[in-house]
Structure 1
């Protein structure tokens, strides 16, 4: 392990988020994880929560992100924060892919979405001391939560 790895050492992998997939590269430390995720045209994740704060920066393209009953249309260069525990999901309504840089604190290195390929950034001899280990928790179909209400705002 090392606190530095070359970009070529971080795999570009396919990750499943509910019924959708995206391409991502991910790294993590003790307190945070960072993902660079490319969502294809039509990408639509399932509503989910996690016990960590998420900061997003949209590198390119457009993406709708929904938090509860609110809808946010992100365009290249925009930032968005998703508070820990909030129900949220994303929808790429455009005909082009988009790339999002996501930071999760505490890190999501143990989530099945990225745990198989995320690269730890720990010094030689350092014992990882994680701040936490949140994972995505998808809402069951019978939860009563209706994402369609927020999605009506995505004109």
Structure 2
């Protein structure tokens, strides 16, 4: 590959989170990874954490994001930061898909959810020197949020 990839060279794949899945395109460099993640209506991820900071920008739709004990409603154009190692999950309680742009630092290039299809943006003569290699850690059920607390949430 090179430091540039066309849209066709970065294929869209399904990232399986165990209880649900979302479609995504993913690229990475030495310090960060970038995911364009489309979460379908009804999407509900499992609580998880990773040893990297996550910056989000919601391109379209609406999405609830829970970070520790805080619920944030993201709407198109909103930004959100998930601190490293913070327990978090998301829920698309709406009728339309939500397209979320995620940047992880250090990058998630070695995470099983994206490793098989993420595209490294490196020149042929470049040796990658990753800042780190965090992975998603799905949390045991006893640390799960109770989805019923969100039943009354509205836009």
Give the match for residue 126 of structure 2: 126
Q: Is the 8 A contact 1:67 1:88 kept in 2?
A: yes
Q: 1:122 to 1:147 in 2, by over 3 A?
A: farther
Q: CA deviation at 1:85?
A: 0.3
User: 2:6: which partner in 1?
Assistant: 6
Alignment of structure 1 residues 70-81 onto 2, 5 Å: 70-81=70-81
Answer yes or no: is the 8 Å Cα contact 2:22–2:37 preserved in 1. Answer: yes
Query: In 2 relative to 1, CA 42–22 (structure 1 residues): closer, same or farther, beyond 3 Å?
Result: same
User: How many positions carry a matched residue from both structures?
Assistant: 154
Please report how far the alpha carbon of residue 92 of structure 1 lies from its aligned counterpart in structure 2 after TM superposition. 0.1
Cα drift, residue 149 of structure 1: 7.5
Q: Deviations over 1:22-64 (max 9, x none)?
A: 0100000000000000000000000000000000000000000
| 1:98 aligned residue | 98
1-side partners of 2:23 and 2:129: how far apart? 28
1:63 is matched with which residue? 63
User: What is the root-mean-square deviation in Å for CA atoms of aligned residues?
Assistant: 1.4
CA apart distance, 1:148: 3.8
**SS at 1:131's partner residue?**
coil
Q: Which runs of 5 or more structure 1 residues have no equivalent in the other structure?
A: none
Q: Identify unmatched segments of 5+ residues in structure 2.
A: none
TM-score of the superposed pair, with normalisation by structure 2:
0.94
Shift of 1:151: 3.0
What corresponds to 2:145 in structure 1?
146
Q: Would the alpha carbon gap of residues 153 and 107 (structure 1) be closer, same or farther in structure 2, given more than 3 Å must change?
A: farther
Structure 1 stretches of 4+ moved >4 Å: none
Question: How far, CA to CA, are the matches of 2:121 and 2:111 in structure 1?
Answer: 17
| Aligned counterparts of 2:121 and 2:107: Cα–Cα separation in 1 | 12
Q: Classify the secondary structure of the residue corresponding to 1:99.
A: strand
8 Å contact 2:47–2:145 — kept in the other structure? no
Task: State the shift of 1:129 in Å.
Answer: 0.5
Q: 1:147 to 1:123 in 2, by over 3 A?
A: farther
